[in-house]
Chains A and B, each alone.
Chain A
Amino acid sequence: MLITRPKPIEEILSMLDMFPETSICVVGCGICARKIQTGGEAQVSMMTARLQQRGLDVLDGKIVKHACSTESWDSMVEENPALDDAGILLVMSCGAGVSLLGRISGKPVLPGLDTTSLGSALKDEVFENFCVMCGDCNVGLYAGLCPKSGCPKSQVNGPCGGSIDRDCEVEGRECIWVKIYDKLESRGMLELLDDIRPPVNHDRRL
């Protein structure tokens, strides 16, 4: 699941200034953004109303099934004709959805959200920073708890010296290294941490 958060309305308005007198369709996404309530029905309706209140020409607000994956632009338009009628799309999905819509629609697209991490959802609980898409995954060595994403400093050989009592120095959360250590210790597998791990091979992302 892609974790997104709303952009400030001022930023969105300033982007829309680039396209004066152009009709807008606000597009939400039926998967991740809907699940974490950044680009679902309520958020798209609210955005539509806010822009209309400011006198902008918003044709409609629509949710597509998956902004990041579709058969074709035509199949999206078939379900949501307003997409084709609008001069510009304000997309409330992750960056992948914005990019795909920009690629297939032939229209200018603007992002309504910021994409911050790759995470997960368990019922109503959302987990951020589960993966940084490093292209060099070895999370199995860390009891399934990725230190490259779970530690702000991406420390792969143990914790930094900034967390004194289990808390991360950066964010109000438990140090991922304490969790990794505890979990492997409880499984009797601490020796997995003995070897010095090399840095990420960024070559593999190409």
Chain B
Amino acid sequence: MGFADVLGSGKFVVTAEVSPPKGTDISGALAGAGLLQGLLDAVNVTDNQRSMMRMSPIVLCHKLGEMGFETIMHMTCRDRNRLALQSDLLAAHALGIHNILAMSGDYPTMGDQPSTKPVFDLDSVQLLQLIEKMNNGSDFQDKPLDSPTSLCAGAVANPYVRPLGPQLLKLNKKVSAKARFIQTQAVFDAAVFNEFADAARHIGIPVIAGIIPLRSAQNARFMNEKIPGVKIPDEVISQMEAAADPALEGMRIAAKTIAGIRTNCQGIHIMPIGGHGNTRRLLELCGLVD
């Protein structure tokens, strides 16, 4: 059963993120993903996240597919023009990758290749439209494909963005452009997420909430400062600071957040800091694994 079918069944889904290596050896990434066997409905593979140069996610998705994982490949509009986006979508499909998470991507100056040319030929809405077009058998210029794709495309949203009006405008367009699900930026505050979920109730597609189990007050501060769109409340940072076992506290905070938003989303997406060593434990804390 593909990810689209699982979502369609109404199941509360669990996904998690792995990153390709900054080098040629993928054994570490595969071993890390091995910790997730049996825990997830799909594993996401990031695309030069935070504009830090890494291996293309196509390869890692393919290898994870061989290990039996359903994969969701992230695809940003930052690094490819419409020709390259289409080529990579066809390549991914040919390698058995059937889920794409379409996003604009962090700006290059945020990362380790700040002098790079920002492409942004398409935006995430137009990328979703392109995928829908390819699913219907034609390319961007309406030329027929030899064989159509059958990709399930998702999109992203940030529950923290205020004012909500412009964000909802974009979200509505993503839904019109046939996004099948929405994955959110990391949530640290159930009330903020629930306000967003209320405002987005009309979209009628599953929302998967992003969760980052914090490891220390220090990395919480780092994320607030360095990761666009992340907003960790001061009281959460204080809780982390006071904790005897910060990693456990981070998991408790995540579990509490998940409990607080669970009726307003159809799944969670775990984005750990530094590997999946604690992911099983977090899911156990949340009662999301036997």
Contacts and interface: CB of A to CB of B under 8 A. Distances in A.
Nearest to A159: B166
B82 A157 contact: no
B49 to A, nearest CB: 13
Interface residues of A, number: 28
Q: How large is the interface on B (under 10, 10 to 19, 20 to 34, 35 or more residues)?
A: 35 or more
A178 interface: yes
B198 to A, nearest CB: 18
A178 B162 CA distance: 9
Interface stretch (B169-177, B266-274, B276-284): B169-177
B109 A170 contact: yes
Nearest to B156: A161
A112 to B, nearest CB: 22
Nearest to B155: A161
A85 interface: no
B126 interface: yes
A160 interface: yes
Contacts of B129: 196
B102 to A, nearest CB: 12
B162 A165 contact: yes
B104 A157 contact: no
Interface string B127-168: 001000000000000000000000000001110111101110
A68 B255 CA distance: 63
B88 interface: no
Given A158-B169, A185-B165, 6 more contacts: A157-B170, A159-B167, A161-B156, A169-B106, A170-B107, A196-B177
22 contacts: A152-B107, A153-B118, A153-B120, A153-B123, A154-B120, A154-B123, A155-B104, A158-B171, A160-B124, A161-B161, A161-B167, A161-B229, A163-B161, A164-B162, A166-B162, A169-B107, A169-B110, A169-B228, A178-B163, A178-B166, A181-B163, A199-B126
